[in-house]
A and B are shown apart, each in its own frame.
Chain A
Amino acid sequence: MNSGKNRCDHSQIDELLKSAPGQFEETVIISHLDHCPDCRNYLEHHAADMESWNEAARSLRETEFDVASSMEYSAAGIDSLKVSTPAAIQSVLDSLTPSEHPDRLGRLEGYEVTGVVGAGAMGVVLKAIDPALDRIVAIKVMATHIASHATARKRFAREAKAAAAVLHPNVIPIHAVSNSGAIPFLVMSYVRGGSLQKRIDREGALTTAEILRIGSQVAAGLAAAHDQGLVHRDIKPENILLDEGVERVTLTDFGLARSVDDASITQQGTITGTPQYMSPEQARGEFVDQASDLFSLGSVLYTLCTGRVPFRADSSLSVMRKIIDEEPAPILELNPEIPGWLRDIIAQLMAKNKTDRFKSAKDVHDLLEACLSHIQQPTVNKLPDGLRALSRSKSTSSLPLILGVCAMAVCSALVVWLTGGLGLIIQEPAPKTTPVVQQESTEASPAEAPLTWKALLGEEAPENYPTEPFQAIDGLNKTVGNWGFAGEQLLDGKGSEFEAVMQVQGGLSSDTISLGRMPSWHISILWPAMEPVFSLNFTVVPAIEPDGVKWLLFAASANDGKKHTSSESPVNVDPDAAFNVSKLLWAKAPGEKFFFEGTWDPASRTLNWKPQTPQMLGTKVGPAEHGREFQMIISENGGLQIRNFHQNDKQQISGQTAVRLGEYLKPGTDLKMLPNGYKIFFASSSEVLLVDKENGGVAGARVDKIGCSGSLIFGLITPREQVEKPEDTLGYFWLDSTTGEITKGMELGGWKDALKAKGVAQPMLLAPERVGPRL
């Protein structure tokens, strides 16, 4: 065909482009394109404009962020060769020889590959059948793209050699090694059950018994490796496998292991290992011996206790800096259920100076074993002597703190008291609803009746009431992750949207609880900030209606610490009509009374609270600057804004939510900001969680009943077997959130009397919950 410019028929190219891009074709017009630049040019421009071609090239190019899998830290030099995990798997699968069985992925030197277990920095782990022995094995195949890399091959060979040398029930057995073929691989036992990391991801912090069981087995495996002169160097939860059904823990991935005297491969200064679990000497790139594995084991145990890694930072480098310079957050603050002696063991494992750690992995194993026997049978097996002395002195020394009224210490003191003072350390998950507890529910007094829609409003729940329950907090080892109000702080008359979100981790699941949409809100505005004297309390109930959410004002009250004034509640508000809410008043000083009146303006959907001139004779009107105006704007779509027009007051907001659980409205999360800046959560029926000012330190404790009345928060603590009669409680505490004062009582008679003495006649118990179905 002539390639002359004018004779080319571009309509054929148009047709070509429009036709489905199925398979390659070879036609006359296509072979014309082989040598006609003009037609090619035409084709390019009519396929898409130049900008699109460039955009496509730029957009589809791989970047370093394409791999969204978990972090992989391999040795320097290998990182640059990393390809995306799916691609690594694909390339390994592509290299297999076809299998005769159609349901298998392929064959690798006699092994029938049936699946992919996972992929890591260095290779891919396949699941396969060993036909010779008819057993299932795991085959670790070096990733094809690094198989040509000499260092990687050496490291792989070393792993094989190291792992094969250690024969121990807690170390993964190596069946075969192939280092001669194009792609080296390693045949290991197949462990059904997944890694410890998966377990942590799923469950968060573990129980003390589990931590000891896993810790002692890892220590045993390490001891065996250390006996062979090996240092594992990469002890982390991903490398600890849990056998399904069998209580056995297996140490795997000797990919970074090396003999202490083998300095040939890893150069000085080359960083290997996972930063989060590295020892300080590893982080500094120094000589590493067995003591380094002990530090990493300590970090793993720390993670098991708290559900999070000890050193967290934005980059590997910062993590390593922290490992070298900083102490991790105290375990006590993150999980007060961990006994003091275990915290001490972990602290010793994680000593910055390696000579301060335990002498050997064997010693650690023996110690953890002894501790495990103790908690399994406390009366038969005593704690090892050194540990007992240590934990006793700790719990007594915390008592003076508890009795202190220092506001800053309130939160941690509360927890210390709950765990240490009463010795109420609960290792096992709370028992599922027992018959005894169920009985309690049916006999519950009216004050303890579940907060149902009906109880709140005196009517049946509307048909379109949200049926999706909030996720229950199952009450086990929970810690609060992030929480916060999405909105501006309620200051200086700026609008604020009251929307709160809380994440709770640990226990049986991780939950995110939106506090922003809930059956009822209890809002307290307290001031002044440091020493709240007044509180203005509202209960509002949002009703889901076809055209949006409506907030119904349920009750309003004011409290000045002496007087408690309530509105004529319940006040059901018709949002479409103007109305006045009852006056609220309090006296700041004798003869000085303040009146507030709430007025609902349907047009702006605003509830204004204004100081009112008192109508009674003989009362003195407070000076104008004492007047405070509040405004609540309730939007048609369910938003709630609170405005304060008083400039100097910083408000404390407390929100309280009742979580709908099954047929109950389960009071589930209650949140108070204490005057000292701490926040206290009742994260479940039986847990108190405390968050410090920086939202960092979180502590929790388990109590059996929690309640509140005004600013008073109280908890009842009973041993598990004695929940039958709350009056028989072993102890109780209350916390005055206005003063930060904490008071406790032990066997001082009925808790109800104690509360009466405090002026609380009808407490609202927040824990009738055990009766509710658990989700």
Chain B
Amino acid sequence: MTEFPQTRASLIAQVRSSEDREAWDQFVFIYRPVLYRMARRRGLQDADAQDVVQTILMRVAASIHRWEQTSPETKFHHWLRRVARNAMISAFTRQPKEAAAGGSEMFEMLAEQPEDIAGIEEELAIETMREHYLRAAAIVKGDVDPETWQAFELTVVRGQSCDEVATTLQKSIGAVYVARGRVMRRLRGQVQSMQENDR
């Protein structure tokens, strides 16, 4: 599956301010994997899931020209989230009206699985949170030494006990507690700032 340079080159050319472009990039960065996972969970294979994700993103991109700053308080990224949220929910809940025009095979497949909007919203929220944590983890992981990260990962993510991990890492139990606490604190901070940007 090739990337679609056109999304950037022509559609996004309409986003003129660099701040808005950044918001768009950030948006794609977070939501591409979110949508991908949601599509995969519905049984689509890799390439098809990527197609669907791309189509949704292109739909969002295509509506960018409608963005109008009505007052200084309205921010592009707020508007974008709102448009995107609607596009994503509609992609996963019903067959889009334009499907008859083409490119619809995969959406038809999605539409065959009736789902309620509330369920989708919840899934979207969970997946978005997951993406925030994954991105945050990548940042924090780079900042700490490998054993500190391991203390966190083994205990929190893999569910091992602190005693066990202390033995594995040949550290004191207290040190494992401190290491994972520090990682968690940083992680929480990163996630929070991402969530604020994403609001």
Contact = CB atoms under 8 A, between A and B. Distances in A.
A100 interface: no
B21 interface: no
A481 B37 CA distance: 23
A530 interface: no
A30 interface: yes
A55 B133 contact: yes
B101 A31 contact: no
B2 to A, nearest CB: 5
Contacts of A61: 157
B145 interface: yes
B185 A47 contact: yes
Contacts of B199: none
B44 interface: yes
Given A26-B175, A60-B134, A517 B14 contact: yes
B36 A21 contact: no
A703 B141 CA distance: 58
B197 interface: no
A53 B37 contact: no
Among B45, B157, B171, max chain A CB count under 10 A is at B45
Interface stretch (B23-31, B55-63, B76-84): B55-63
A568 interface: no
Contact of A466 (B13, B40, B187): B13
Contacts of B94: none
Nearest to A54: B156
Interface string B130-142: 1011100100100
B178 A16 contact: yes
Contact of A47 (B55, B144, B175, B184): B184
Given A43-B181, A47-B185, A57 B45 contact: no
A21 B144 CA distance: 6
A30 B175 contact: yes
B103 A695 contact: yes
Interface size class of B (residues with CB under 8 A): 35 or more
A68 interface: yes
Contact of B184 (A16, A31, A53): A53
Contacts of B11: 514, 516-517
A55 B9 CA distance: 37
B65 interface: yes
B179 interface: yes
B194 to A, nearest CB: 12
Contacts of B47: 70-71
Nearest to A45: B181
A64 B36 CA distance: 12
A384 B144 CA distance: 69
Given A32-B174, A47-B182, A695-B102, A56 B187 contact: yes
B10 A468 contact: yes
Nearest to B41: A65
Interface in A217-239: none
B196 interface: no
B31 to A, nearest CB: 14
A151 interface: no
A511 B41 CA distance: 28
Interface in A522-570: 548-549
A385 to B, nearest CB: 41
B104 A52 contact: no
A34 interface: yes
Contacts of A721: none
B105 to A, nearest CB: 8
B173 interface: yes
A637 B65 contact: yes
Interface in B1-18: 2, 4-7, 9-11, 13-14
A513 interface: yes
A48 interface: yes
Given A30-B174, A47-B181, A468-B13, A549 B65 contact: yes
A461 to B, nearest CB: 16
Contacts of A40: 174, 177
Contact of B37 (A21, A63, A314, A638): A63
B178 A488 contact: no
Determine the main DSSP class of B at the interface with A.
helix
A71 to B, nearest CB: 5
A675 B155 CA distance: 66
A18 B113 CA distance: 48
A639 interface: yes
B98 interface: yes
A367 interface: no
Interface string B117-157: 00000000000011011100100100111011001010011
A70 B48 CA distance: 11
Nearest to A40: B177
A83 interface: no
Given A40-B177, A47-B182, A70-B46, A517 B10 contact: yes
B4 A512 contact: yes
B88 interface: no
A23 B45 contact: no
B178 A25 contact: yes
Contacts of B102: 482-484, 691, 695
A573 interface: no
B18 to A, nearest CB: 16
Contacts of B101: 483-485, 489, 695
B156 A57 contact: yes
Interface string A618-655: 00000000000000000111110000000000000000
A774 to B, nearest CB: 18
B131 to A, nearest CB: 8
Nearest to A516: B62
A482 B104 CA distance: 8
A57 B159 CA distance: 8
A21 B175 CA distance: 11
Contact of A21 (B130, B148, B157): B148
Contacts of A639: 65-66
B116 to A, nearest CB: 21
Given A30-B174, A40-B177, A59 B37 contact: no
A227 B45 CA distance: 36
Nearest to B140: A21
A64 B97 CA distance: 32
A703 B6 CA distance: 27
A46 B189 CA distance: 12
Contact of B10 (A17, A483, A514, A637): A514
Contact of A52 (B36, B37, B184): B184
Interface of B: 2, 4-7, 9-11, 13-14, 33, 36-37, 40-41, 43-48, 51, 55, 58-59, 62, 65-68, 97-104, 109, 129-130, 132-134, 137, 140, 143-145, 147-148, 151, 153, 156-157, 159, 171-175, 177-188, 191
16 contacts: A16-B181, A22-B144, A23-B147, A23-B148, A46-B181, A47-B184, A48-B185, A68-B33, A471-B9, A482-B103, A484-B103, A484-B104, A489-B98, A512-B5, A549-B14, A695-B103
Given A29-B174, A512-B7, 20 more contacts: A20-B143, A22-B144, A24-B148, A31-B172, A43-B178, A48-B184, A59-B130, A61-B157, A65-B37, A68-B33, A68-B46, A314-B44, A488-B97, A489-B100, A503-B103, A512-B6, A514-B10, A637-B67, A637-B68, A639-B66
Interface of A: 16-26, 29-35, 40, 43-44, 46-48, 52-53, 55-61, 63-65, 68-71, 201, 314-315, 466, 468, 470-471, 481-489, 499, 501, 503, 510-514, 516-517, 548-549, 635-639, 691, 695
- Pick the 3 closest A-B CB pairs, nearest first: A482-B103, A33-B174, A21-B182
